[in-house]
Chain A
Amino acid sequence: MNVDLQQPIGGEFEAPHDHEHHLGPMQRLDSPMRRFRDDDEIDYLVVGVGSAGGVLLQRLARGGFKVVGLEAGPFWDTERDWVSDEKGSHKLYWEDMRITGGTDPLTFGANNSGKGVGGGSVHWAAFTPRFHPSDFEVYTRDGLGADWPISYWDLKPYYELLELEMPVAGPAQFPWGDPHGYAYGAHPMGGVGDTLIDGCTRLGIRVSAGGPVAILSGSRNDRPHCIYRGFCIQGCKVGAKASTLITHVPDAIRNGAEVRSLSMASRIELGKNNRVSGVHYFNREGRARFQKAKAVIVSGYAIETPRLLLNSACAEYPNGLANSSDTVGRYLMAQAGTVVLGRFDQLIRMYKAPPAHALTEEFYETDPKRDFARGFAIQTVGPLPIAFAKQMMAARGAWGWGMRRVMMDYNHWSAWGVLGEILPWPENRVTLSVERDEFGIRIPHISFNLHDNDKKLIDWAQKKTEEIMRAAGATEVLHEARYAHLVGAARMGSDPATSVCDKFGRTHDIANLFICDGSVLPTQGSANPGLTIQALAARTADYLISQGATIFNSDKRDMTPPPIRRHLSPPGTHWKGVPRLA
């Protein structure tokens, strides 16, 4: 048979003409969605259907509760709404105005949270390493930062669950932290990963190839495997990369949850007896509405969560709801995300393969030989042309003909990202600006400042990464300082005077108000936070399910850990995969 390589197999790709809601080329939203009325008193109201919110909603719906997720952004149809294009993907990011300051201002928009069902998991690169056991006791070990109110071992069963639910592909043996293996096979290498492996191997540094990433290396159910097209950060139309939009939200809807998209929460209402009674929001027509609920969980991301709490200030809580400790908005963290770029004589073509496909955590832990606490990871990144041009603007001051020249060499460059731990500091914080958004809600102001330990760590990490890049054979090595992954700003802790919520996410101040997203992290390690955020959401869900009646009817706090409900995983995920290591 003659195959015409000039023609797509199966014919040209047409716009979907059915009336179905597409979640990738094969998966459809397959059940009608339950709708609640504003004056139905629902059980749990979740604000934000992102990484954490998606998992929470799914668990609570399966647990039999009446649950609604308010989501400021749209409910994506991946075939109609998403494109394989950098510039065309701005709508995935939270691009509402935020004002940024401090000595080391952070940038937002495409660099941070998502907007729309799935939140940041829609545009994440999907690196999914676990935190190390040491991350949960930084203060005890290093005398800096904070300890968590839980240990790694409390979270481990949830890591294992989520690694199968997403699922995560990676090597059979991952040697760092608590060593473990992955159920789905590692991915093939791209050009960027090859340089990282070369550099590390020449210097005797262990490196993990082909994961851990929440990207399918083999098709599963109605989700195809990765096609190595490299547009992960623009949303994976293939459905190979996990996002709660495609992994958890369909199951939530099947089990009776409502996802109310294009609904922006503006204020949480404090009712009688120091309990919240529901949430004010603007619906898709821009009209002000109020949804009643027995309990509220805020899952809006490390900026929007404190913003909402601060904007919900009332007579009883003049400094912001659940903020009697004055910690709401404080201890905001970003990871050092310095990008190190190397030019090679040979071609790399770094747009191929997912940006996330190899990493090393060899420098993760505190090393007494270095003059700072904690450490960093080094990971592959694969900037597409616009991102790379901006890096060249920053790293090299490129413009004009210099920009044109270096861009003509795009295919010769490889890029890695440092992921370094920046410690929690009280003055790194979210406050409210006097400016207001389109709904009249005050917008956030963020102040960020590096401290001595942070600066030393960033400097050391950059030099080490450059050394490895040179060992890999790069003839020119540049770097761009930047930050990634915001967490903190409504942290959990055992002491109500220095934290916002307890180890289950329940605010110390108000018994039926919870927080569940990256905001609750007391420290952040050098691992990308997404897996930890989703694992914590599954744990909080188990608590909410166990304690339902108590939460709805009393202010009693039962601190016994809930049983782990493995049967709540989305169907066909639990015990699946090919485990290679016990």
Chain B
Amino acid sequence: MPRRQRHWAGRPPYLERPHFQFSSATLNGARPVNPERLPIDLRTGAPMRSRSQPGYYPGYCTLSQQKFWDAATRETIRKRVEETPPIRFFTPGEARLMEILCEHMMPQNDRDAAHKIPVLPFIDERLFHKKTPGYRFEDMPPDWDAYRLGLQAIEQMSRANHGRGFLELSWREQDELLKLIHDGKPMPGAEEIWKRMPPHRYWGLVIQDCVEMYYSHPFAWDEIGFGGPAYPRAYIRLEGGEPEPWEVDEKRYEWKAPPSCVSDPVEPEIATHKFHPPHGQGGTH
């Protein structure tokens, strides 16, 4: 007889035992988050408290639909949610730096400790297994070297311009240093490294990995109102943005990014800097 696929009834086990090994909650102890680093509620002007589910779809839960998913998909998602891979590629020192880097790339302070999405462990897993996306730009070193070089560059630029290591900088100083890499004009101090690795390519590598890890997690699907796996059950309301019976309607709230961050400009700078050709994702045609 086949073993029945296990799935979670009631409170899912990942809530009983949060297992995220490198979330900032563990790094900083369970200290409350500095309000400077929380997004602002625009109705009240006050920092928004961390919550289990940010986003405009309160109460929406893709995981609650698991029994409608096929077994192979259910197992893939279960593993992703329950089994955070250990850190094996990065050294402990690098991992501390990477953890902060990932927090800047995909900040999660609006998520409570039990609902943080592990990003770094999955990047580490990819690099540890030497998984590639199937290509490398001729002006780039292999991904695993690029990650190490990037961390060195960040540390060198921090010391050259602030006289302190990156981890000792304020959150805003860190954000600003990274923003300059994003702009393709990194601070002085790591010219040798940027000669071997164009900053915009390094940036593309890291941000693509970060979004892949974050937006592959069911918590992120709930946040953005994505339907998640849908086989064998179908979608039936294709038009007009209507929700399926098990989806929920949008409930927007206005917010702005935390004061310590520069990653959410009021006017997005629309691709003035050249990210070409940005990525190898075949999400289209």
Contact = CB atoms under 8 A, between A and B. Distances in A.
Interface of A: 5, 7-8, 12-17, 25, 79-88, 90, 93-101, 104-112, 123, 125, 127, 188-191, 194, 227-231, 233, 237-238, 337, 339, 346-349, 351-353, 355-356, 379, 381, 383-391, 393-408, 410-411, 415, 417, 419, 445, 478-484, 528
Contact of A25 (B107, B221, B232, B234): B232
8 contacts: A104-B276, A110-B281, A349-B243, A396-B268, A400-B263, A408-B224, A479-B271, A480-B278
A393 to B, nearest CB: 5
Contacts of B226: 351, 384-385, 410-411
Contact of A386 (B131, B216, B241): B216
A107 B225 contact: no
Contacts of B271: 394-397, 478-480
Q: Which of A106, A351, A400, A407 gathers the greatest number of chain B CB atoms within 10 Å?
A: A400
Contacts of A404: 106-107, 264
B138 interface: yes
Contact of A401 (B75, B243, B263, B276): B263
Contacts of B261: 400-401
Given A81-B72, A347-B250, A481-B277, A400 B105 contact: yes
B284 A408 contact: no
Which of B107, B225, B231 has the most chain A CB atoms inside 10 A of its CB?
B231
Given A85-B77, A98-B135, A395 B2 contact: no
Contacts of B56: 408
A4 to B, nearest CB: 11
A93 B281 CA distance: 11
A100 B105 contact: no
A194 to B, nearest CB: 6
Contacts of B72: 15, 79-83
B134 A93 contact: yes
A389 B275 contact: no
Most chain A CB inside 10 Å of its own CB: which residue of B71, B80, B208, B233: B71
Contacts of A399: 105, 182, 207, 263
B232 A349 contact: no
Interface in B238-285: 238-243, 245-246, 250, 257-258, 261-265, 268-271, 273, 275-285
A397 B182 contact: yes
Given A13-B71, A481-B276, A233 B238 contact: no
B8 interface: no
A233 B282 contact: yes
The 6 closest A-B pairs by CB, nearest first: A387-B283, A400-B263, A109-B134, A347-B241, A394-B278, A107-B280
Given A12-B5, A386-B216, A482 B285 contact: no
B107 A352 contact: no
Given A17-B2, A85-B73, A407 B238 contact: no
Contact of B135 (A81, A85, A107, A127): A107
Interface stretch (B20-28, B62-70, B82-90, B160-168): B62-70
B234 A227 contact: yes
B284 A109 contact: no
Nearest to A236: B231
A110 B70 contact: no
B73 to A, nearest CB: 4
Interface string B134-160: 111111000000000000000000000
Contacts of A227: 230-235
Q: Which residue, of A84, A99, A100, A482, has the highest number of chain B Cβ atoms within 10 A?
A: A84
B59 to A, nearest CB: 15
B240 A191 contact: yes
B232 to A, nearest CB: 6
A86 B216 contact: yes
Given A127-B285, A349-B241, A396-B271, A14 B4 contact: yes
A79 B271 CA distance: 41
Given A107-B133, A112-B282, 6 more contacts: A12-B67, A80-B72, A110-B281, A400-B107, A402-B263, A410-B225
Nearest to B110: A404
A87 B212 contact: yes
A85 B66 CA distance: 13
**Most chain A CB within a 10 A radius of its CB, from B226, B257, B282:** B282
Interface string B102-146: 001111000000000000000000000001111111110000000
Contact of B215 (A80, A95, A353, A385): A385
Contacts of A393: 204, 207-208, 211, 275, 278-279
A484 B285 contact: yes
Contacts of B233: 8, 227
Contacts of B257: 400-402, 405
A230 B138 CA distance: 34
B211 A83 contact: no
B175 interface: yes
Contact of B277 (A17, A389, A400, A482): A482
A401 B264 contact: yes
A419 B285 contact: yes
B159 to A, nearest CB: 23
Contacts of A100: 135-138
A385 B224 contact: yes
A93 B285 CA distance: 14
A397 B275 contact: yes
A13 B215 contact: no
Given A109-B135, A395-B270, A397-B271, A13 B232 contact: yes
Interface in B43-98: 54-56, 67-77, 80
B39 interface: yes
Contacts of A230: 227, 230, 235
B216 A237 contact: no
Interface string B188-208: 000000000000000010011
B229 interface: yes
A81 to B, nearest CB: 7
Nearest to B230: A229
B107 to A, nearest CB: 6
Given A238-B231, A397-B271, A402-B263, A411 B224 contact: yes
B100 interface: no
Nearest to A81: B72
A13 B69 contact: yes
B211 A389 contact: yes
B220 interface: yes
B223 interface: yes
Contacts of A483: 277
Contacts of B70: 13, 79, 83-84, 237
Contacts of A8: 67-68, 232-233
A376 to B, nearest CB: 12
A337 B284 contact: yes
Contact of B234 (A17, A228, A355, A478): A228
A394 B208 CA distance: 10
Nearest to B66: A12
A123 B136 CA distance: 22
